[in-house]
Amino acid sequence: MGPVFYLAAIAASFAVPKPPNIVMIFSDDHARQAISCYGSRLVSTPNIDQLAKEGARFDRHYTTNPLCAPSRATLLTGRSSHSNGIRDNASEFDGTQVTFPKLLQSAGYQTAVIGKWHLTSKPTGFDHWEVLPGQGSYYNPEFLTPRGSLVRHGYVTEVITQRALAWIANRGPQPFFLLVGHKAPHRNWVPGLNQLHLFADKTFPEPATLRTDYDGLVSEAKNVHMRLDRDIRSAEDLMVDTVPPRADKTQIQVWERIMQPQDEEYKKSLARSGDLLGTNYQRYVREYTRCVAGVDESVGEILRFLRKYRLLDNTVVVYSSDQGFFIGENGWYDKRWFYEPSAGTPLIVRPASGLGHSRSVKSLTSNLDFAPTFLDLAGIKPPDTMQGRSLVPLVKGVAPSVNRDVVYGHFYESNDPDHKVPRYVAVCTSRHKLIYYYDLQEWELFDLAQDAAETQNLWPDGVSRAVRVELLNRLTSQQRVLREDQALIRQVERAVQEAVKSS
């Protein structure tokens, strides 16, 4: 080969851009209401905000089945629960399915998952994995690896971060995908020793619906087991007079020194005010936001590491959660409902080398879109079986302003003795939300432009017939497009026909 050809070959190799690395930081139960760039009144998250300053913040991102394991299965497969087989937390994930990490591997990526996994079966499609068994532990957590299990000393968020950075430092030369799965801020909310001093004197503002009477919502809303004045447990959930399970002697000493005065204050405050709801709310939000502060610190560490080793210019960083969470709205903790606090999910994407400015994306997006997005970034065409769409054009701001005009939701869990949230199917458009609780045969319809907190069910008379019929049609057409279970489609279509007839 002569020198000209040689130089031409070098030029060509530079002309082909290397596909970017992707780091996805995926926390558990982290609501938009607890992220300051989403306008949180509860906590400041400077590191997550930094991602949003240099990238796209998705304001209408939804989890199609707002529960832990189903959300994770949809992340991996780009398919709905009925299609990937994970309808609730009890099912076992079939790891032989097509997932985006497997497709990334076949395109030459190295892949790793570190931290929360929560899919019962062993990870597939990952060259490297070290995952928490089930929900995992906040202190001195056990990890499962291909070589067996081991215990790592420390606080889970910090341990996962250190393991993630160690993996990046020791990776090979190929582009990589890394899934950092945080356990925090999942129930029960146990902060790290480094966060116990935070917010000790802070009084958190109450959401407008904390003290709701549940009038205007579906009949079962008042009965579900997620109320701060009834169902939350003082020892197991709020950690009053309790030390973290698995903590060692030194950790317990630090914990007790800091927390015992706070426990006394909680009990005194309760005795003084007699306000169980308000007192539990304050204690709950304090522990939850402390867990969030730990996650935010992890995001900062990962960003600083990528910057220091000059990886940030070729690494896409994504922050999201498996779904949102109630932080006192409707007097609740937990998730499961299709209401905004739980089905609405944070999503921030910082493209490689950053956008240079912040962008807020108002289009509706779904967690079905993750897998096609990661494949798009790697230059791979998503298989037709995936049901989402790439978000890359929305990140760049080159897509039409509306990516989807509707998102679909389906909550299946009927075997959960702990929460008792009724099953439903739902659609959400840019303005309205329609929910059908098919076991109860009850409908809910909200106008999000007029009633962002979803306090007033407008079914059946609160909107025009045209709006109602339009939403009903959207619901059945989404079920057909997503190839929902036939029996359910027929059941919902019968209910829709009844509803249209009587409207």
Residues at the site binding Ca ion, with contacts judged by CB under 5 A: 28-29, 68, 322
> Which of 20, 21, 25 has its CA nearest to residue 300?
25
Question: Of the two residues 29 and 231, which places its CB atom closer to Ca ion in the complex?
Answer: 29
Q: How far is the CB of 86 from Ca ion (least distance, A)?
A: 13
Question: Of the two residues 72 and 128, which places its CB atom closer to Ca ion in the complex?
Answer: 72
Q: How far is the CB of 293 from Ca ion (least distance, A)?
A: 18
Question: Of the two residues 68 and 435, which places its CB atom closer to Ca ion in the complex?
Answer: 68
What sign does the CA torsion over 252, 258, 259, 260 have?
positive
Q: How far is the CB of 337 from Ca ion (least distance, A)?
A: 13
Question: Of the two residues 224 and 240, which places its CB atom closer to Ca ion in the complex?
Answer: 224
Contact indicator for 411, 402 with CB cutoff of 8 Å: no
Q: How far is the CB of 183 from Ca ion (least distance, A)?
A: 10
Question: Of the two residues 366 and 390, which places its CB atom closer to Ca ion in the complex?
Answer: 366
Question: Of the two residues 28 and 237, which places its CB atom closer to Ca ion in the complex?
Answer: 28
Q: How far is the CB of 289 from Ca ion (least distance, A)?
A: 17
> Which of 212, 238, 207, 237 has its CA nearest to residue 224?
212
Contact indicator for 221, 331 with CB cutoff of 8 Å: no
Question: Of the two residues 135 and 314, which places its CB atom closer to Ca ion in the complex?
Answer: 135
Starting at the earlier edge strand, list the strands of the sheet with 442-447.
407-411, 424-428, 432-437, 442-447
- Tokens (6 digits) for 300: 């900062």
DSSP-H helix ranges across 213-275: 249-273
Question: Of the two residues 287 and 322, which places its CB atom closer to Ca ion in the complex?
Answer: 322
> Which of 388, 342, 354, 382 has its CA nearest to residue 369?
388
Question: Of the two residues 65 and 212, which places its CB atom closer to Ca ion in the complex?
Answer: 65
Q: Strands 359-366, 148-151: parallel, antiparallel or unpaired by DSSP? A: unpaired
> Which of 423, 231, 445 has its CA nearest to residue 330?
231
> Which of 361, 298, 291 has its CA nearest to residue 327?
291
Question: Of the two residues 68 and 426, which places its CB atom closer to Ca ion in the complex?
Answer: 68
Minimal CB distance to Ca ion: which residue? Answer: 68
Q: How far is the CB of 84 from Ca ion (least distance, A)?
A: 17
Residue 154 is classified by DSSP as S
Contact indicator for 353, 60 with CB cutoff of 8 Å: no
Q: How far is the CB of 244 from Ca ion (least distance, A)?
A: 20
- Cβ burial of 247 (10 Å; 0-12, 13-18, 19+) is buried
> Which of 429, 363, 367, 437 has its CA nearest to residue 400?
363
Residues 6+ apart with CB under 8 A from 8: none
From residue 435, alpha-carbon distances to 65, 244, 352, 403, 476 in Å are 13, 39, 38, 22, 12
Rg (CA), the chain: 23
| One-letter identity of residue 336 | R
Q: What angle do CA 127, 132, 137 make, to 5 degrees?
A: 160
Q: How far is the CB of 66 from Ca ion (least distance, A)?
A: 8
Contact indicator for 78, 386 with CB cutoff of 8 Å: yes
Q: How far is the CB of 323 from Ca ion (least distance, A)?
A: 5
Q: How far is the CB of 173 from Ca ion (least distance, A)?
A: 35
Question: Of the two residues 33 and 279, which places its CB atom closer to Ca ion in the complex?
Answer: 33
> Which of 400, 345, 299 has its CA nearest to residue 53?
299
Question: Of the two residues 28 and 454, which places its CB atom closer to Ca ion in the complex?
Answer: 28
- Tokens (6 digits) for 325: 């969470």
Q: How far is the CB of 29 from Ca ion (least distance, A)?
A: 4
Q: How far is the CB of 30 from Ca ion (least distance, A)?
A: 9
